[in-house]
Amino acid sequence: QVQLVESGGGLVQPGGSLRLSCAASGSIFSITAMGWYRQAPGKQRELVATITKDGITNYADSVKGRFTISRDNAKNTVSLQMNSLKPEDTAVYYCNVHTLYGSTWWGQGTQVTVSS
């Protein structure tokens, strides 16, 4: 099993920045890809960004150029730097990891609200 603990959500004005972090524990040796998803009220959960163990990244078109995902394999953490935030970025953000056994684990979610 893998346990994920997220931090860093909050309220920010449009154009502002936030940094989300996620710390993994448990069967961390099995983790391959790590990433962030989000779910806005009334909408399906969607991919925000992912990063492989080798550092290959993938972003949703809506966040390209504004968000940056990074990973520290030694500390078993994944972070999401969010700049130029927009009201439409408001959502609950979930940390996600895949393991070499084919399983997927989710964090509890952290609220990000972009509003003036």
Q: How far apart are CA 15 and CA 116, in angstroms?
A: 10
pLDDT in tens, 22-80: 999 988 888 899 999 999 999 999 999 999 999 999 999 999 999 999 999 999 999 99
Q: How far apart are CA 80 and CA 95, in angstroms?
A: 10
Q: What count of Cα atoms within 13 Å lies in the side-chain half-sphere of residue 110?
A: 19
Coil/strand/helix, residue 3: strand
Please give the pLDDT value at position 113: 98
61, β-bridge pairs: none
Residue 20 has pLDDT above 90, yes or no: yes
- Using a 10 angstrom Cβ sphere, with 0-12 exposed, 13-18 middle and 19 or more buried, the burial of residue 54 is exposed
Please give the pLDDT value at position 91: 98
Please give the pLDDT value at position 50: 98
